[in-house]
Structure formats: C-alpha cells, structure tokens
Structure 1
C-alpha cells in the first residue's frame, strides 16, 4: 500500500462548483504526491476548533505536506499588519501553526511548501518579511535560480548546487527560528529552503508541484517525502 501523506487543506468561502465553503487542495500537489507513489489525503480543518485533537488526527499518517496559501497574519510573529499583507485567515493560521507543532511532536516526515515553510518558521519563533520589494529576482510569478547549501539535506535530495524553481510569493523568511537552518537562497538573499536541525522537516519557498513533471529536482522533493514516509511506515 502507498504511504499516506496528509495534505493540509485550504479553506475557501466559496468555489464555483459548490454551494458552500470548501476545504481544498491544489490538484498539482496531489498529483505530485501520487506520481511519487504516495497516497495524498486532504486533511479537513475543523472550523469550530482547528487545533484540539490535531496531533491525534495526524498520528495515523506516514507523511505530511504543508502547502502554499494566503498571507500569514503578522500578529503571529509580533508585527503590525502592513498594507501589502492581505487575505489573512485566522482559522488557517491556527491550523498551519498547530500542524507545524504537531509535526515536530510526532516526528512525522514533512515537506513544507511556500506558506507552509513560512508557517514552520513562525511556529518556532521566527519572523517574516511581510512584503518583498522588487529586486534582481522576481519572486512573484517566475522561474528563477536558487543556490543550494552543499552538505544540507536539500542538497542530498536534489543532487545539485543550483536549481531552477517556480516562484509565486511576496512574503518570505526574515528572522530564522533557532531550530532551523537555511538550505538554499536566491541571488538577492531571500531564504529559499530550510530544514529542521532535529525533526524530519524540509521546507522550500518555491512551488515544486508546478514543474514536477518536467523538473527532476522538483520531482525529487516529492519522492524524498514519500520515501521518508515509507520508512516511517515500515518502522511502525
């Protein structure tokens, strides 16, 4: 049986094919997990209380994927809200920050993408840049290069010092949480990947699901997650 990969759902107030609010996951995320021989399962955040029982619910999964999404509320890391910070959803912040804590407590293999990576950093005491102003690198809808730290876990996974990535974000890691290490950066210094010093967590700022069918290094991230999840499953 394929290892079960929990994909944390995203709350939407409405979608065209449904009459009510919805818990969503990007098809590309699920396709990328499935292509790597994992079984993606979208985890619904309980509207009334997204935190209580979350660790118990996630315990049954072999791996965890924290996807991208809207802006994380700056109140979560001690800042006032800038005008560029929009679409903050307290429910989603509660769910994602709680998921990050649960991932560490359970030692569950985790891949955190874009907002997911930012949530891990904030959950562990880090902060974010609320808005990236224009630099030599376009982070908001472009493929650009990142430099991978030699000797990092990410380097072992992708097998390269430079990779091209599909980027779509305007917030980014500022102050790094003490429990984390930087695994990759963009040419303008933006943190592009992190890993936990002890827990089985790897995070990337880019969207590997965008190019997983054509990019060997992006596909490797999902293959690595599923491989780690399979080992957890085999070890019971």
Structure 2
C-alpha cells in the first residue's frame, strides 16, 4: 500500500538569521518524523504569483497537512499593533498559511499544526496572540517543560497520558481563543499548549514534537496519528 501524502507547508526565509537556521532544521526533522510515522512528506511551497484561491485545488491531491513552526505572525492580522519583541514577520508566509488553514477546514482534511502553525490557526479563526510571553520561575518556554493534557480530548487519546514533557522554543502564544477551538493542554503558568478544532480534523500543539529531546514516544505519536488520519482519508476516497 502506498504511503499517504502529507503536505508540509514550506517556510520563506525570515529576516532574522537564527530563524532561517532553525526553520531549516525543523523542516528536515519534520519530514523525517512524517516518514517514520508511515507518511510521504511533500514540501508545499508558494510562489508569490500563486493566487490563494487555488489552495483547495493544490491541497486536493494530499491526504493530510502539517503546518510547522516559523516566524512571528503579523499582529495587525488580529487587530494589534506590533510590540518591540515581535520579529521576523514574513507577510507572504502569513497569507500562504492562512490560505492553507482555510482550505484544510473547508476540505475537512487531517492536519497537525506546530508552534507558529497553532498560533496562525487561532488567528485565522478569529483569535488573538500574546506577542511576548513573560518567562517565570515556573515554566521556561524555550526549554523542556511539563504540559498537562486534559482528559477526554483528542490529544489525550493520542498521547495516552495527562502529563508529558515537551520541547518548546517560542515567545508568542494563544491569547483569546478562537471560536471553534478547544483547549486540550496547558503549561503550569496557564499558557495554552495545545488546541483542537471542534468540527474539523485539526490538532495543534505549541511545542515542537519533531525535536526529540523531550518525550520521544508521545511526540512520535503525534506524527503517527496524523499519518493514520491521512491514511483513512486516502482509503475513504478510493
């Protein structure tokens, strides 16, 4: 049986060199994780001339979608002025990702969103972001830390436990939750660590499951779950 095709949304180079470096490493690790989970990763790039109205057509050949991490989301997209800490904004990337998310929901495609992917999912559906998370002695969001998973959520069914260690490096986070999303995991300081869509087949996490320095078993389960959902879509479309 052929592997289900998973579109890994490509990333344009941010203006901040370290973001370009980290995005490249993350893309490689994500593609490897999708492959290890049984899927066929295909990077989806967007030339500037590509009309976003074509996104449903472009995604139609795929069985699942993965939105990885990346640069900060432009604050004006959720009605805020940029804070001094907001960096590396790439306008076209925002447009491209928003087009992907809208098409994913319209087509009811299986999707996993990671870090920036979760943030722009929230923005796309009408939510807002914290532009700069204040670090505390309780949680460091640029290191391995513990996350509490809510029972009864889809995420709990995937990882099979209420407490997991995750590897994250971010300074923005979900503020006002968008309609249609449900919180399924929190950090000890109250930062939202994972959400899922009430109707669409979308799960999103704030941490980086492709970074296997924390809990590799539960992180691998996220990719395996995405591939499993994509495989079911592939089989049902025959």
TM-score range, shorter-chain basis?
over 0.9
Q: Distance in 2 between matches of 1:202 and 1:95?
A: 19
Give TM-score, length-normalised by structure 2. 0.92
Q: Retained in 2: the 8 A contact 1:212–1:218?
A: no
Q: Distance in 1 between matches of 2:213 and 2:3?
A: 19
* 1:87, distance to aligned residue in structure 2 (A): 0.7
**Matched residues in 1 for 2:224 and 2:90: separation?**
31
Q: Is residue 212–residue 219 contact of structure 1 (8 Å, CA) maintained in 2?
A: no
Which residue does 2:130 correspond to in 1? 129
**Who is 2:231 aligned against?**
230
Match of 1:166 in 2: 167
What residue ranges of structure 1 are gaps of 5+ in the alignment?
15-22
Shift of 1:217: 0.4
CA displacement at 1:193 relative to structure 2: 0.2
Map 1:1-236 → 2, pairs under 5 A: 1-12=2-13, 26-49=27-50, 51-135=52-136, 136-140=138-142, 142-211=143-212, 215-236=216-237
Distance 2:11 2:174 in 1: 21
| Runs of 4+ off more than 4 Å | none
**Greater percentage in helix:** 2
| Cα shift at 1:226 | 0.2
Q: Is the 8 A contact 1:125 1:177 kept in 2?
A: yes
Counterparts of 1:46 and 1:72, CA distance in 2: 19
Measured after TM superposition, the shift of residue 60 of structure 1 is 0.8
CA distance in 2, matches of 1:82, 1:50: 30
How many residue pairs were aligned?
228
- CA RMSD after TM alignment: 1.8
Matches of 2:88 and 2:14, distance apart in 1: 12
What displacement does 1:48 show?
A: 2.2
Deviation at 1:46?
A: 1.9
Q: Tell me the secondary structure at the aligned position of residue 89 of structure 2.
A: coil
